[in-house]
Amino acid sequence: MEEGMFLIKQLLFRFSNPIFRDSMFVLISNLLAQGMNFLTLIILARHFGPDQIALYTTSLILLTLLLSLADSGLSNSIVNLVNQKAINSTHEMYEYLKAGLLIRVGLGLFISFMGLFISEFLAINIYNSISLKELFIFAFLGVAILSLHSYISTIYQTQNKFKIRSKYQISTSVIRMLGLIFLFLMPDHFTIMNSFIIYIFSPLIVMIFHFSEILKIIKQPFTMENFKKKTKIIYSYSKWLFLSMVAVLLISRLDQFMLLKMVTVKEAGYYAIATQLIMVLPLVTESLTTVLLPKVANINTDLRFYRAKIIKIVGPVSLLLLLLIPIAELIIVLLFGESYAPAIPIFQILVVGFSLDITINLLSLVFYSTSKVWYLTILNYIQLIIVIVGNLLLIPSFQAFGAALSAVIVRIIALVYILYFSSKVIKTTTSM
């Protein structure tokens, strides 16, 4: 009885902690949103098969890569700047957000425009696939829409409005899911192309109800001098972050692009399913990072305590994730069907690699807080070299499993690097 009361008191105490409460809310919301996205993938995978799924996920990866280029590290930079400088002035915060908005819209439109000229080259000359041509065109066009959509999420994160941000993300997933169901009910129109179009354009409906956030920023008085000043500050802060981001994107997406070029489309489809399934695991990290980034950026955060706490907590969590390995066959066959059985060993080895990501990503916040993002940039380019070499050596012999092995090797190296240099940076900072 006493033990039960103690546990209840501990639980109530944790929920009284705003960071824990926000983390749990964001985590649950992300689970709901990702759950709907994952259900969409299951429907598509079962209906179209590995070959078509490989084309769909490759186009989706290209879209994600382009969106990140349009962001160019702005989102995290603005969140860090506003919180690290402890900006209490709403006007000054909106100046940063307006500068970021103008940059994001400009880059998004430029990338979409360039896509009209290079989509055919990428699809036909690189992948020798006419099927990818139209998918790639829509991927480029989607950047202009989705870059603005994602910036609304950045606005909410900057202001620590995690609940509204979570509702915004869930609403987007719901609309996408409803759009897919609508297509499913019309068999003649249920194609990979139309499914991809729904993914890109359906968020416009959600944006209408949140566009007031953009209007608040637009209405703020803002001179060209202010724009230049804020842009210079943002990019002086984010230059290392941007270089790091490019490397991270290539590390996480290059395997799919290389596989589609080096193996059969069906083999690439198996890998696509395994990687999409494994994407559920980083939800914990993403949720914690979303909440902790503004907190850790605050100059009053005890980084030594933060690092020790992270290591203590994430160890058991990572071990729990490894329990997915023995039940991988059940999960994949149950969700996607027998035709995706070759994805089982790929998923199992990826679980090992991604179980390390929680520690890697959460400890990387130390470098953001201390304005030493260049440590991450160096790590990311070391990883990028290893990924390229690893894929070139392992994919010809082990096919998709080789790409998964390369991903695990990269994360082991990253963990050792992060543990060593985060400790070094904290010691240097606290001794000053």
Give every residue of the chain whose pLDDT is below 50, as ranges. 1-15, 293, 297, 299-300
What predicted TM-score, i.e. pTM, was given to this entire model? 0.77
Does residue 5 lie within any of the structural domains? no
- N-term to C-term CA, the chain: 49
Per-residue three-class SS string for the chain: CHHHHHHHHHHHHHHHCHHHHHHHHHHHHHHHHHHHHHHHHHHHHHHHHHHHHHHHHHHHHHHHHHHHHHHCCHHHHHHHHHHHCCCCCHHHHHHHHHHHHHHHHHHHHHHHHHHHHHHHHHHHHHCCCCHHHHHHHHHHHHHHHHHHHHHHHHHHHHCCCHHHHHHHHHHHHHHHHHHHHHHHCCHHHCCHHHHHHHHHHCHHHHHHHHHHHHHHHHHCCCCHHHHHHHHHHHHHHHHHHHHHHHHHHHHHHHHHHHHHHHCCHHHHHHHHHHHHHHCCCCHHHHHHHHHHHHHHHCCCCCHHHHHHHHHHHHHHHHHHHHHHCCCHHHHHHHHHCHHHHHHHHHHHHHHHHHCCHHHHHHHCHHHHHCCCCHHHHHHHHHHHHHHHHHHHHHHHHHCHHHHHHHHHHHHHHHHHHHHHHHHHHHHHHHCC
For 320, other C-beta atoms within 10 Å of its C-beta total 10
Looking at residue 12, what is its pLDDT? 43
Does residue 233 lie within any of the structural domains? yes
Looking at residue 256, what is its pLDDT? 86
Does residue 351 lie within any of the structural domains? yes
Looking at residue 140, what is its pLDDT? 95
Contact 394, 261 (CB under 8 A): no
Looking at residue 94, what is its pLDDT? 83
Looking at residue 8, what is its pLDDT? 39
User: Tokens 């985590």 map to which residue?
Assistant: 27
What range does the domain containing 88 cover? 23-430
Does residue 159 lie within any of the structural domains? yes
Does residue 179 lie within any of the structural domains? yes
User: Tokens 């506003």 map to which residue?
Assistant: 82
Contact 290, 26 (CB under 8 A): yes
Question: Which residue type occupies 135?
Answer: L
When divided into structural domains, the chain yields a total of 1
Question: Which residue type occupies 313?
Answer: I
Task: Please calculate the CA angle 291-297-298 and round it to the nearest 5 degrees.
Answer: 100
User: Of 368, 373, 375, 236, nearest to 301 (Cα)?
Assistant: 368
Asked whether the CA dihedral 325, 327, 331, 332 is positive or negative, the reply is positive
Alpha carbon distances (Å) from 74 to 22, 233, 234, 350: 23, 11, 7, 30
Does residue 113 lie within any of the structural domains? yes
Does residue 12 lie within any of the structural domains? no
Q: How far apart are CA 326 and CA 345, in angstroms?
A: 10
**3-state class of 169 per DSSP?**
helix
Contact 153, 210 (CB under 8 A): no
Does residue 415 lie within any of the structural domains? yes
